[in-house]
Amino acid sequence: MRICVVGAGSIGGFLAVKLAQSGNDVTVTARGKHLEAIKKNGLLLKIGGEELLASNLKATDKLRDVGEQDVFFLAVKAHQVEPIVDDISAVLGQKSCIVTLQNGIPWWYFQEFDGPFSGTVVRSVDPEGTLFKKIDPKRIIGCVVYPAANIEAPGVIRHDEGIRFPIGELDGSSSERAQAISNKLVEAGFKSPILPDIRSELFLKIWGSACFNPVSALTHATLEDICTYPLTRELSINALSEIQAVGEKLGATFRVPLQRRLDGAKAVGQHKTSTLQDVENGREMEIDAIGGAVVELAKIAGVDIPHVQTIYALSK
């Protein structure tokens, strides 16, 4: 399968190495010293005490140069999608599809949506509706990213934990392309079930990230610290309860009880969220997609979320 990973950062790089090593034709986009290192030495993944080198990757900083691909794994951050939307459109073949990997609420949430808010543009992640208009939702397969990883050095990815990338068609249908992508991910060593309701799985992830990510950015605390310290633990319980109410109002179901979700975050240990990593490295945060979108959806659904709104306001 011809695969382009758009954004070979921590998660994109993790995917790229494993997919390349399982026999796929993989191209990545990257920038700066990271790109230079990949071109010179390949992309190195440190995982489970092993070092896996993908030396057969093609790498570029120009998406329009990658040529036609079967699948594009869109691994850039939410606020980085709009600037490249025309480049994405330019390289899509007749049957190319896009697997979205962004944190937070995706721009397509209300596209191919069976509910009262169908066709609503999520302005916090797509202010002018550009992505809504320019990317055909039928091209998209949603994906929820559970692994944690970091860029240890240019050209070097360190995997911390997790191998699960569940996917799903936006309309909940089963399809040959979703099965083919799932098969390739499984062959590469990932867990990738095909879900009939990808939005509920997204809310299960957002449930934690809209709470823990901004709190970690504000406190510089790890997940274990946030879930252990009494005051931030209480704050997290209140915020999680509010986020769950928003999801349920929009039709999402939560297959995990709140206490188990909190305990699961604590069990990750001394892991720094991606938002805290952005703060420490001087990068722009994904606060709008993670927190702002939840605040926006709460207003759409008519749900009061004072704790989440306060966390968002402080982190913004």
Tens digit of pLDDT for each residue in 16-64?
999 999 999 999 999 999 999 999 999 999 999 999 999 999 999 999 9
Percent of the chain with pLDDT over 90: 88
Domain layout of the chain by residue ranges: 2-103+145-196, 199-315
Residue type, 188: A
Quote the pLDDT of residue 284: 85
pLDDT in tens, 175-208: 999 999 999 999 999 999 999 999 999 999 999 8
Is the pTM here over 0.85, yes or no?
yes
Q: Residue 266 half-sphere exposure, CB side, CA atoms within 13 Å?
A: 15
Does residue 172 surpass a pLDDT of 90?
yes
- Letter string b/e over residues 93-111, b meaning 16 or more CB atoms within 10 A of that residue's CB: eeebbbbbbbbbbbbbbbb
pLDDT of residue 102: 93
| Residue 148 vs residue 70, higher pLDDT | 70
DSSP state at residue 289:
I
Does 169 score more than 90 pLDDT? yes
- For residues 256 and 133, the answer to whether their CB atoms sit within 8 Å is no
Report which DSSP code applies to 292: I
Q: Is the pLDDT of residue 4 over 90?
A: yes
Top-level class of domain 2-103+145-196: alpha beta
Instruction: Using the structure block, give the residue that is written with the tokens 């990738």.
Output: 192
Q: Report the pLDDT value the prediction gives residue 283, as an integer from 0 to 100.
A: 87
Active site annotation includes 205: yes
Q: Which of 205, 249, 272, 299 is catalytic?
A: 205
pLDDT at residue 312 above 90?
Answer: yes
**Residue 269: pLDDT band with limits 50, 70, 90:** confident
What are the tokens at 70? 């079967």
Angle at 254 between CA 252 and CA 255, to 5 degrees: 135
Q: How far apart are CA 227 and CA 277, in angstroms?
A: 18
Q: Which fold has domain 199-315?
A: N-(1-d-carboxylethyl)-l-norvaline Dehydrogenase; domain 2 (1.10.1040)
**Secondary structure, 3-state, 266-278:** HHCCCCCCHHHHH
Specify the pairing of strand 25-29 against strand 58-60: parallel
